[in-house]
Amino acid sequence: MNSEDKLTIAKSIVNTEPDEALRLCSEVMTEEPDSKMGHAALFMAGYIMLEAERFGLAYHIYSRCAEIRPDMSSCYQNMATSLELIDPDKALKLFQKAQSLDPNNHESMANEGLLWLKKGNPRKCIKLNKKALLMNPGNMVCQHNIGLAKLMLKDWSGWAEYSATLGVKGRTKVDYGIPEWDGKAPGKLLVYGEQGVGDEIMFVSMLKELMADHEIVLDTDERLRTLFDRSFDCQVYGTRFQSESNIRLDHPDLDYQVAIGQLGELFRSKGDFPGTHYLVANPDQKIMYRALFDTFPGKKIGIAWTGGTPQMGQHKRSFDVDELHTLLNKPGNTFISLEYNPINQEDMDNFGIKTFPHVTGKGQNIDELASLISQLDMVVTVCTTVVYIAGALGVPCYVLVPSEPSYRYHSEGCFPWYKSVTLARQKEGQEWRSVVKDLADEILPEFSVALLAQGITL
């Protein structure tokens, strides 16, 4: 088999069998390191590393590709993609370099726009993606980016683009073997969750409005099933991540299916967010946690300081627990960890933080976590699932929002989904410790007085 044949096979399987594709690319680079085929194999290897989220290795591969072909726009575009999480400012310059080499590189333009959105500039995102759309009409990624940017600006017309781009950028489209609902037709609906647990909790706030005119069945993350089953008058399954489900057998009369995020265009396009709570915690567990918490002094305050994954802006919306020291040092109150990541128990003991890892840990059933949160006096958290649980239960929740927030937290103003949620926004260049101090002074005003009485200033 010659090099050309190997590359043809590698290209055909690069998304289905990346390890085998990489093996073939490696063979071509070994056999013809300096040929056109060798360079093409190197470029494909970089793509495989990008898809595997090995961003550092991908960046260095594409850097070498750019040395070989300094006039090739896609080399710089892929270098930029490799750097989005590591060095977004450099990534922006590389996207712009790619466009200077090829002004028609609409993909690079759209990606630059999305990066501007992640950096808190939705207007620039819209401008670049509209320009890219003129070059490539019908591009769903561009439409999706525009929709997110509009929603960030509280321009609720963005729900139209959001709804039109199901299946793009993490919005997984599931096929249950029944027609997609058009938002108008009468009939029995299968509603299925999408994206993360927090998104599911946020979007189910629209279920009761949908149920006013439709009988529904809900398929959700198994961790949410019991909580949603108690909270809504419909049958709830926890099979959305399973390859097989009994939903169709149990409900042969289902007429349509609809992803839950599609409901935004129907029920929130005019900015009409009720903001009221809608989840019902387990009554027995509520009694248990109430009895336990009554043995703790002062206000019972839930705290979380880690949010997201590396791919979802974790570095922007997370910090070390000691950044909360101005809050934790408030005498007379009890702080309870709501962290989903593993925690250092010694650190928790040093700060006097109560822990319930069997409830709050990653992968645990959300039902008991909701019961615990329902009995707190307040929650102070970074942008994470805890926000949506507290808001959906009506528990006062203060959110430490980074200066470059995700679209869900908008560019300014309040968080419309929940009346009980208040946003404490970080200013550009402001340290988290300062944001926490300002929030502590606001929600626990007697704290500053107590410290001053001890001769302590912050």
Query: CA torsion angle for 425, 426, 427, 429 (degrees, to 10)?
Result: -170
Segment 399-417 mean pLDDT? 94
**What whole-number distance in Å separates Cα of residue 191 and Cα of residue 237?**
10
Structure tokens at 295: 């043995």
Residue 61, classified by CB atoms within 10 Å of its CB into exposed (0-12), middle (13-18) or buried (19+), is buried
Segment 325-329 mean pLDDT? 82
Residue 176, classified by CB atoms within 10 Å of its CB into exposed (0-12), middle (13-18) or buried (19+), is middle
Residue 331, classified by CB atoms within 10 Å of its CB into exposed (0-12), middle (13-18) or buried (19+), is exposed
Whether 188 contacts 251, CB under 8 Å: yes
Task: Decide if pLDDT at 331 tops 70.
Answer: yes
The number of helix segments (H) and strand segments (E) in the chain equals 23, 10
Task: Decide if pLDDT at 262 tops 90.
Answer: yes
Task: Decide if pLDDT at 448 tops 80.
Answer: no
**What whole-number distance in Å separates Cα of residue 114 and Cα of residue 133?**
14
> Tell me, what's the pLDDT at 455?
43
Least confident of 53-57, 91-95, 302-306, 331-335: 331-335
- Per domain, the residue ranges of the chain are 3-164, 189-267, 283-453
Segment 159-180 mean pLDDT? 92
> Tell me, what's the pLDDT at 311?
66
Whether 291 contacts 283, CB under 8 Å: no
Segment 99-114 mean pLDDT? 96
Return the percentage of the chain with pLDDT > 90, whole number: 74
Least confident of 211-225, 249-263, 428-442: 428-442
Neighbours of 71 (CB within 10 A): 8
Residue 273, classified by CB atoms within 10 Å of its CB into exposed (0-12), middle (13-18) or buried (19+), is middle
Task: Decide if pLDDT at 322 tops 90.
Answer: no
Higher model confidence: residue 317 or residue 140? 140
> Tell me, what's the pLDDT at 450?
41
The b-or-e profile of 150-172 (16+ CB within 10 A means b, else e) is: bbbbeebebbbbbbebbebeebe
Segment 171-191 mean pLDDT? 94
Higher model confidence: residue 190 or residue 458? 190
Task: Decide if pLDDT at 309 tops 80.
Answer: no
Q: Please, which pLDDT band fits residue 303 given cuts at 50, 70 and 90? A: very high
- Cite the beta strand spans of 263-377 per DSSP E: 300-304, 334-337, 353-354
For the entire predicted model, the pTM comes to 0.90
Neighbours of 108 (CB within 10 A): 27
User: Token pair 């073997």 is at which residue?
Assistant: 177
Three-state SS at 210: helix
CATH architecture of the region 283-453: 3-Layer(aba) Sandwich (3.40)
- Provide the mean pLDDT of the chain: 91
Segment 189-195 mean pLDDT? 95
- pLDDT tens-digit readout, 348-403: 888 889 999 999 988 889 999 999 999 999 999 999 999 999 999 999 999 999 99
Three-state SS at 235: strand
Task: Decide if pLDDT at 217 tops 90.
Answer: yes
Q: Please, which pLDDT band fits residue 453 given cuts at 50, 70 and 90? A: very low
Query: CA torsion angle for 72, 10, 165, 242 (degrees, to 10)?
Result: -150
351: CB partners within 8 A, 6+ apart: 321, 322, 325, 328, 335
Task: Decide if pLDDT at 269 tops 90.
Answer: yes
**What whole-number distance in Å separates Cα of residue 370 and Cα of residue 413?**
26
- pLDDT tens-digit readout, 108-151: 999 999 999 999 999 999 999 999 999 999 899 999 999 999 99
Which amino acid is residue 296, in one-letter code? F
Alpha helices in 181-282, H assignment, sequence order: 197-203, 207-211, 225-231, 247-250, 263-267
Return the closest-CA partner of residue 74 out of 97, 53, 58.
Answer: 97
Q: Please, which pLDDT band fits residue 312 given cuts at 50, 70 and 90? A: low
- The full DSSP string for 24-67 is HHHHHHHH-TTSHHHHHHHHHHHHHHHHTT-HHHHHHHHHHHHH
> Tell me, what's the pLDDT at 112?
97
Structure tokens at 406: 């995700």
What is the CATH T-level fold of the domain 3-164, as seen in this structure? 1.25.40
